[in-house]
Amino acid sequence: MHLLKYIIVGAAVGYGINYITKKGANGRSIIEDLADNVPNWFD
């Protein structure tokens, strides 16, 4: 049962990383947009 849990969690993490690093219609990924906006959060 633990092995199944690790497989499911690993697949979810892999999908999440794939989702945030995938290029969108504007040619940028979510992580790139976040990295550009971080300095504005601390002003």
Instruction: Quote the pTM value.
Output: 0.68
Rounded CA gap, 6 and 16, in Å? 15
Q: How many distinct structural domains can be found in the chain?
A: 1
Mean pLDDT, consecutive 10-residue segments, the chain of 43 residues?
96 96 90 90 78
Cα radius of gyration rounded to whole Å, the chain: 15
Q: What per-residue confidence (pLDDT) applies to 40?
A: 86
Q: What per-residue confidence (pLDDT) applies to 23?
A: 92
3-state SS assignment for residue 21: helix
22 DSSP 8-state letter: S
Domain that holds residue 8: 2-41
Q: What per-residue confidence (pLDDT) applies to 1?
A: 86
Q: What per-residue confidence (pLDDT) applies to 20?
A: 93
Question: DSSP H helical segments within the chain, as ranges?
Answer: 2-21, 30-41
